[in-house]
Structure 1
Amino acid sequence: MEKPLILVTNDDGITAPGLRALISYMKDIGDVVVVAPDSPQSGMGHAITLDSTLTAKEVIIDPDNTETKEYSCSGTPADCVKLALQVLLTRKPDLCVSGINHGSNASINVIYSGTMSAAIEAGIEGIPAIGFSLCDYSWKANFGTAEKAIKQIVQEALTNGMPKGVVLNVNIPKVTNTPLKGVKICRQARANWKEKFDKRTNPMGKDYYWLTGEFELLDKGEDTDEWALSNGFVSVVPTQFDLTAHHVIQDLNSWNLNE
């Protein structure tokens, strides 16, 4: 039987350790093609390139893995998926996985995430897609702790399929001396970033600003991704890209808009 074709991408760049780990895990499951940004694209959200050209070149990052085709793309994570589906792949992938991101994409972070936007772009095109993130920003993070959960989730997605219009946002807690407690299906926690801009002046006397902030959790529920992560569980949030607030349509229809 033909192996499933898995498109692998990320937002940390094609040389990122998290991506290299995800490639190795996916090789155990199917045929892998990689299309990833040539430089870090964290926080790009669903940006696409409109005012300049895109390039993609085949590269060899891992000399011991020359059987996996890899393309380095000059664009954003969403660009990578678009280019892969429209130009670079010879057949439609059975699954798109994005990550493993260096750092959390739980809660409100999903809005800004290039990792998740790549998965969402695949989902828009009707391809089952999953974004994976490890809650450790270190370039030397131990991604091995996530291997079992990632493979299990991917296998289940390939076996059972995924609902149309939904992609999975998977976050793995940072653990050291204790094993992961399991996997929980969650909702997105209500939270935001309490942001401020640090004003500085460069040697030429010109002011510039550095974005800083603190994560503010506003949700005490025990069914959220943030609760799961803080208690040692992998969080899986089904995420939709239909942004319609369906539950308020009836209320808005009561407005006097046509008089």
Structure 2
Amino acid sequence: MNILICNDDGYLAQGIRTLAKVTAEFANVRVVAPERDRSAVSNSLTLDRPLSIRQADNGFYYVNGTPTDCVHLGLYAMPDFVPDMVFSGINHGANMGDDTLYSGTVAAATEAYLLGIPAVAFSLHDKSGRYFHTAEKVLWQVAEYFSKNPPTQPLLWNVNIPKVEPEELKGFKVTRLGRRHHMQCIVPAENPRGQPVYWIGLPGEAADNEAGTDFAASAEGYVTVTPLSLDLTAYNQMADVGKAIQSWSL
């Protein structure tokens, strides 16, 4: 099995090193990742300049673009390696609920799925670097499973690992996405010249963290696995829209 690995934290991140190390126990691995942190760029593509691929001393390839760019280049610019799956991560921080709309880590997996490749996004609910040994234990289970059960059709799974010690993991739970409050969007500041500047703030607390959500299960110490779908159609509104447009004319 061949597995293409990407992330949004950049090719130097500890998360992608951990993901590549564990996955290589079960599959042939190629890492194609951004040259720097590209968190929260979602599925953006670089269209205003050319892209380049370079190889680091550790064998990883890095691209001067987004996670989505990396998936496209990994699939179509490097024909000597044909991936059976794409693993993305391990993200430094959780990607639950609304986070999935912004996350470059989830976006890399999403892009692979759109292109017909089974994909899994991995995120660790911690940024201290303390719990990567916990992530290794989880990754071992997932990688071993897919090595013995190769997907026969595209799938898109979002896996979040809680910040607990390995022996404190409660197990795995299938969950739905929760929902956050609105982001604490704008944090005003001032540059050295006294001019106003603004930072995009941190995400708010979970608004929907009821039982069955990724937020709730993660807080209880479970590894959450959420199968994702990309059909954004609001089917429950189609009848109302149909009524509305009956009175429109061109």
Fold-level similarity (TM above 0.5):
yes
Tell me what 2:159 maps to: 170
Partner Cα distance (1:221, 1:160) in 2: 33
Alignment partner of 1:58 out of 47, 50, 55 = 55
Deviation at 1:204, TM superposition (A): 1.5
Gaps of 5+ in 2: none
**Does 1:48 pair with 2:45?**
yes
The residue type paired with residue 248 of structure 1 is Q
Q: Which moved more, 1:81-90 or 1:11-20?
A: 81-90
Confirm or deny: 8 A CA contact 1:41 1:114 kept in the other structure.
Answer: yes
Identity rate of aligned residues, in percent? 38
Deviation at 1:162, TM superposition (A): 6.5
Partner Cα distance (1:249, 1:48) in 2: 30
RMSD after superposition: 1.9
The residue type paired with residue 192 of structure 2 is P
TM-score by structure 1 length?
0.88
Alignment partner of 1:150 out of 139, 142, 145 = 139
Partner Cα distance (1:177, 1:128) in 2: 27
Partner Cα distance (2:176, 2:225) in 1: 8
| Residues 206-243 of structure 1 deviation map (CA, whole Å, 9 limit, x = unaligned) | 21112224523222421010011000000111111222
Deviation at 1:178, TM superposition (A): 4.6
Deviation at 1:116, TM superposition (A): 0.4
The residue type paired with residue 188 of structure 1 is L
Tell me what 2:169 maps to: 180
Tell me what 2:198 maps to: 209
The residue type paired with residue 195 of structure 2 is K
**Does 1:115 pair with 2:105?**
yes
Deviation at 1:91, TM superposition (A): 4.2
After TM superposition, what 4+ stretches of structure 1 lie above 6 angstroms from structure 2? none
TM-score by structure 2 length?
0.91
Partner Cα distance (2:143, 2:153) in 1: 14
Partner Cα distance (2:134, 2:182) in 1: 28
Partner Cα distance (2:78, 2:35) in 1: 16
Structure 2 CA distance for partners of 1:162 and 1:188, relative to 1, 3 Å: farther
Confirm or deny: 8 A CA contact 2:137 2:166 kept in the other structure.
Answer: no
Partner Cα distance (1:162, 1:105) in 2: 26
Confirm or deny: 8 A CA contact 1:193 1:213 kept in the other structure.
Answer: no
Partner Cα distance (1:130, 1:220) in 2: 23
Partner Cα distance (2:203, 2:111) in 1: 29
SS in structure 2 of the partner of residue 215 of structure 1: coil
Tell me what 1:86 maps to: 76
Gaps of 5+ in 1: 62-68
Q: Which moved more, 1:43-52 or 1:89-98?
A: 89-98
Tell me what 2:242 maps to: 253
**Pairs aligned (count):** 247
Deviation at 1:160, TM superposition (A): 5.6
